[in-house]
Amino acid sequence: MTKELSARFEDLSILPALQKVIKELGYETPSPIQAQSIPHLLEGRDLLGQAQTGTGKTAAFALPLLSRLNLKQKEPQILVMTPTRELALQVAEAMRTYARYLKGFHVLPVYGGQNMGHQLRQLARGVHAIVGTPGRIQDHLERGTLNLGQIKAVVLDEADEMLKMGFIDDVERILTHAPQDRQTALFSATMPKDVLAVARRHMVDPLEIHIKTKTTTVETINQRYWQVKGLHKLDALTRILEAEDTDGMIIFVRTKTATVELSEKLEARGFSSAALNGDMTQAMREKTVERLKNGQLDIVVATDVAARGLDVKRISHVVNYDIPYDTESYIHRIGRTGRAGREGQAILFVAPREKRMLASIERATRQTITAMSVPSRKDIADRRVALFNEQLTEAMQSQDLEFFEELIDNYQHEHNTGLRRIAATLAFLLQKDKPLQSDADSTREVDQLDLETDDHGDVRDEQDLIQYRIEVGRQHGVEPRHIVGAIANEGKISSKSIGQIRINQDYCLIDLPANLSNAVMKQLQNVWVCGQRMQISVADSGSEKNSRLKPKRRVTHKKFNKYIKKNLKPNRSPRR
Ligand code: AMP
């Protein structure tokens, strides 16, 4: 673990209202870029930071700049420029979250393709921060609808990308509209000459920060990654858990809150797991590690800090559920497996926007991380059947079954039922919540798009979402980002609450909170996306997701089930 990571948020002079949010989000320690940038940005210094998405750079500039904001002054004081509207939305959403307790704070994402009227209304109402793409910001400046005269700080996010996309002239022109004595921070994953030239022209004695990537080799560990696509991360994880031969496992997430949420969700799905985080007392942590060591527990969901130095030989797998901030953390994380010369497995979940971090990790470990696919529902069902057969043979060979044979004989005579039917019923009861038949629907997975990761690495709760329908589809050229943008902006629904989106030929199905108010529904009826009115409605109750909300009739056979559970308990747990 790097020295910088040991710094504490409490030691940084960030506003208490922001500290409160950091606590709520479960951020344990500042990431390296945060530890290095925040103190200087708080002092008003210019900063040139070489770092990628996923390193925590949004908070690195948002927290100090928000700390220096004058809330009473309702004119833009912070201007963030990003290369894409997705990043603009993401940064604006993150700022909104961090500023949750700054009363009256307004941030406006500004990007092309979005309804101009909406942006003008918001600007007229007064905003403290603007996050946008250079093209649209320039449009506003030309129309005279945006005044940058009170800007205190400008952030150029992913500067290399902005230059690659040809925004250089716009960026420089925009900078001339902001006061000379403003503060400027520039973040870029790479530092080509043109980026440095912009920095030279527009920054004053900037502090330079490089979030380094060290080279290390980790030989006994087989590393794979799964590109987050088509499935929720939680579903992918549970399938991997079922399909792989695992012993002990550590799953890394970014926040303390996520350790608890994820381990509870895994428990609910029948996996023995526990959280390990910095909020727990030393004694509690030791107890959890002890349970993992002696096999009482198979999975520990941990943050980097809590798992520091953890040495448990039976850890066969490390899953990076949330990608780490830097390559050093990655190397540290995966080093929890492959202990004592054993083979270890490391699996990394990579969202599309985290691809760069994957490349850095490959460079740092000097190894290729191979792409893996998540087992399909059919693979899972096949595996369950194989396991079922194995358990059956094993129990048949190792247990004294005389009493049960008699029980079945009696049943057969009393009910005049064939042995095949009785055996089939017992098999049905044994499968419990792990069905042996694959779901006919599995082919539809390919068409789903996952928007699982919210901006704060939180695990989104799917329970309260239902499916809505909007009347715009593939034939109109719609893409998920259009829908997310429209719903987040017009419906004021946090992108965190937007679930899966399925794009069909002439309509889309989207998972959104079940309790959308009439006002929001009405507002969303009339929003235009790709030239179509959304005309949102609740998808019919026969739809796959909404029908899941209806309680299903279940065959219980409680007593019989309990009896079987007690007496025919398989020697191995169904998941190994
Ligand atoms: P960014 O590099 O700004 O895109 O941030 C990547 C992710 O890291 C986001 O989901 C943030 O919410 C999360 N994050 C940022 N800082 C921290 C921190 N100190 N501890 C835990 N998570 C963080």
The residues, ordered by sequence, that sit 6+ positions from 256 with a Cβ below 8 Å of its Cβ are: 26, 28, 275, 277, 278, 279, 303
433, burial (CB in 10 Å: exposed 0-12, middle 13-18, buried 19+)? exposed
H helical segments located in 294-418? 327-334, 355-365, 377-398, 402-415
Enumerate the β-bridge partners of residue 318: 250, 346
Q: What is the pLDDT of residues 95-127, one digit of tens each?
A: 999 999 999 999 999 998 788 888 899 999 999
For ligand 1, is residue 57 a contact (CB within 6 Å)? Answer: yes
Give the pLDDT confidence score for residue 260 in this predicted structure: 95
Q: DSSP secondary-structure letter at 122? A: H
For ligand 1, is residue 26 a contact (CB within 6 Å)? Answer: no
Of residues 346 and 5, more confidently modeled: 346
Euclidean distance between CA atoms 198 and 48, whole angstroms: 11
Nearest CA to ligand 1 atom 15: 56
- The rounded Å distance from CA 68 to ligand 1 centre is 21
- The rounded Å distance from CA 55 to ligand 1 centre is 7
For ligand 1, is residue 38 a contact (CB within 6 Å)? Answer: no
Q: What is the pLDDT of residues 243-265, one digit of tens each?
A: 888 999 999 999 999 999 999 99
- The rounded Å distance from CA 58 to ligand 1 centre is 7
For ligand 1, is residue 187 a contact (CB within 6 Å)? Answer: no
CATH 3.40.50.300 fits 221-371, yes or no: yes
Give the pLDDT confidence score for residue 262 in this predicted structure: 96
For ligand 1, is residue 53 a contact (CB within 6 Å)? Answer: yes
**Position 543 confidence tier, pLDDT thresholds 50, 70, 90:** low
Region 385-410 average pLDDT: 93
Contact 83, 131 (CB under 8 A): no
pLDDT at 460 over 80: no
Of residues 228 and 570, more confidently modeled: 228
Q: Which amino acid is at 100?
A: R
For ligand 1, is residue 259 a contact (CB within 6 Å)? Answer: no
Of residues 215 and 404, more confidently modeled: 404
Domain ranges in the chain? 9-210, 221-371, 377-431, 461-539
Nearest CA to ligand 1 atom 18: 27
Euclidean distance between CA atoms 317 and 346, whole angstroms: 6
Q: What is the pLDDT of residues 310-326, one digit of tens each?
A: 888 899 999 999 999 88
Residue 567 phi, psi dihedral angles, 5° rounding: -100, -20
- The rounded Å distance from CA 89 to ligand 1 centre is 15
Pair type for strands 273-276 and 47-50: unpaired
Q: What is the pLDDT of residues 337-349, one digit of tens each?
A: 887 667 899 999 9
Nearest CA to ligand 1 atom 9: 456
Nearest CA to ligand 1 atom 10: 456
Euclidean distance between CA atoms 227 and 358, whole angstroms: 10
Nearest CA to ligand 1 atom 16: 56
Name the nearest CA neighbour of 346 among 230, 259, 218: 218
For ligand 1, is residue 56 a contact (CB within 6 Å)? Answer: yes
Question: To test the ligand 1 pocket, which listed residue (10, 58, 320) has its Cβ within 8 A of the most ligand atoms?
Answer: 58
For ligand 1, is residue 255 a contact (CB within 6 Å)? Answer: yes
Nearest CA to ligand 1 atom 12: 456
- Between CA 119 and CA 128, with CA 123 as vertex, the angle to 5 degrees is 120
For ligand 1, is residue 254 a contact (CB within 6 Å)? Answer: yes
Give the pLDDT confidence score for residue 296 in this predicted structure: 94
Return the CATH fold of 461-539.
Answer: Alpha-Beta Plaits (3.30.70)
- The rounded Å distance from CA 457 to ligand 1 centre is 7
Question: To test the ligand 1 pocket, which listed residue (456, 494, 496) has its Cβ within 8 A of the most ligand atoms?
Answer: 456
Three-class secondary structure of residue 120 per DSSP = helix
Question: To test the ligand 1 pocket, which listed residue (63, 187, 325, 350) has its Cβ within 8 A of the most ligand atoms?
Answer: 325
- The two tokens of residue 277 are 């985080």
Give the pLDDT confidence score for residue 213 in this predicted structure: 53
Euclidean distance between CA atoms 212 and 208, whole angstroms: 12
Return the CATH fold of 9-210.
Answer: Rossmann fold (3.40.50)
pLDDT at 567 over 70: no
**Same fold for the pair 221-371 and 461-539:** no
C-alpha 562: how far from its chain's center?
38
Nearest CA to ligand 1 atom 13: 456
Q: What is the pLDDT of residues 31-89, one digit of tens each?
A: 889 999 999 999 999 999 998 777 889 999 999 999 999 999 999 999 999 998 888 99
Nearest CA to ligand 1 atom 19: 30
Of residues 481 and 449, more confidently modeled: 481
Ligand 1 atom nearest residue 453's Cα: 10
The residues, ordered by sequence, that sit 6+ positions from 312 with a Cβ below 8 Å of its Cβ are: 248, 289, 292, 293, 336, 339
